[in-house]
């Protein structure tokens, strides 16, 4: 079975909850730290295509609110959004999860994840 890859930032509360949820159920996964390992550019385009790219942008977070209006406006194009997400990984809504079936989800959804991983 392919491995789940969970992308995020270790000190993010939602990522902590997601990791604890997976650990508590004995679900194996690989953690990819955006700050330490960077944003995987090769996966970013796929995430934007498969998840509605706008969903990847965390407009509620501190990083987004601190961005200059010109930087926020960059997300109006796919190329601008990709560049901003690579430069500012904290703007990515977390966690992003690549599932063994090839699908990708954004955010922590215990009920949805239970359907994917079993009870």
Instruction: Provide the token pair at 55.
Output: 């969903």
Q: How far apart are CA 44 and CA 114, in angstroms?
A: 25
90 within 8 A of 8, measured Cβ to Cβ: no
Instruction: Provide the token pair at 58.
Output: 């965390």
**Partners of 97 in the β-ladder:** 6, 105
Q: All domains of the chain, ordered by start, with CATH?
A: 4-117 (3.40.30.10)
pLDDT in tens, 7-22: 999 999 999 999 999 9
Using left for φ > 0, alpha for ψ between -120 and 50, and beta otherwise, residue 3 falls in beta
109 within 8 A of 115, measured Cβ to Cβ: no
Q: How far apart are CA 55 and CA 51, in angstroms?
A: 7
pTM of the full structure:
0.91
Q: How far apart are CA 105 and CA 99, in angstroms?
A: 8
Choosing from 12, 48, 56, 91, the catalytic residue is: 12
Give the pLDDT band (50/70/90) at residue 49: confident
pLDDT in tens, 54-102: 889 999 999 999 999 999 999 999 899 999 999 999 999 999 999 999 9
- Clarify whether 48 is annotated catalytic: no
Give every strand in the sheet of 4-8, ordered side by side: 29-33, 4-8, 96-98, 104-106
């Amino acid at each position: 079975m392919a491995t789940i890859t969970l992308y995020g930032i270790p000190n993010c509360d939602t990522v902590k909850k997601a990791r604890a949820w997976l650990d508590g159920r004995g679900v194996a996964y690989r953690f990819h730290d955006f700050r330490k390992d960077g944003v995987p550019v090769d996966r970013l385009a796929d995430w934007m295509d498969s998840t509605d790219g706008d969903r990847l942008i965390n407009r509620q977070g501190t990083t987004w609110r601190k961005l200059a209006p010109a930087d926020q406006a960059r997300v109006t194009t796919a190329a601008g959004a990709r560049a901003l997400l690579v430069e500012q990984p904290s703007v990515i809504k977390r966690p992003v999860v690549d599932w063994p079936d090839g699908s990708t989800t954004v955010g922590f959804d215990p009920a949805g994840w239970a359907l994917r991983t079993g009870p």
